[in-house]
């Protein structure tokens, strides 16, 4: 079965692309399309970012606490941040 990922913001490593449809088949990206294939299960990622697995887009300290706000040790322990 194919899966179509829609409505996410795609980050390629060089630019951000809106309104593309990523088609996944057998666990791999197989196409970037302009329309949803008729046989595809649809996952709506509206409001989410999509990036290749090798790009780390994590920029905060975890659990909605930014690293530059002086998080206490208790907060680090509670949220399992290392």
Considering its fold, how many domains does the chain have in total?
A: 1
Structural domain for 66, as ranges: 2-78
pLDDT digits (tens, 9 = 90+) for 37-68: 999 999 999 988 887 776 565 555 555 555 55
Half-sphere exposure of 32 (CA within 13 A, CB side): 9
Name the pTM for this structure.
0.60
Cα separation, 45 vs 6, whole angstroms: 6
pLDDT value, residue 20: 87
How far apart are the C-alpha atoms of 46 and 38, rounded to whole Å? 20
CATH number for position 39: 2.30.40.10
């Amino acid at each position: 079965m194919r899966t179509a990922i829609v409505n996410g913001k795609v980050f390629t490593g060089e630019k951000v692309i809106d309104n593309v449809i990523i088609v996944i088949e057998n666990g791999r990206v197989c196409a970037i399309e302009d329309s949803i294939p008729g046989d595809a299960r649809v996952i709506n990622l509206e409001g989410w970012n999509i990036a290749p697995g090798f790009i780390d887009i994590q920029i905060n300290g975890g659990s909605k606490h930014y690293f530059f706000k002086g998080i206490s040790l208790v907060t680090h322990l509670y949220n399992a941040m290392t």
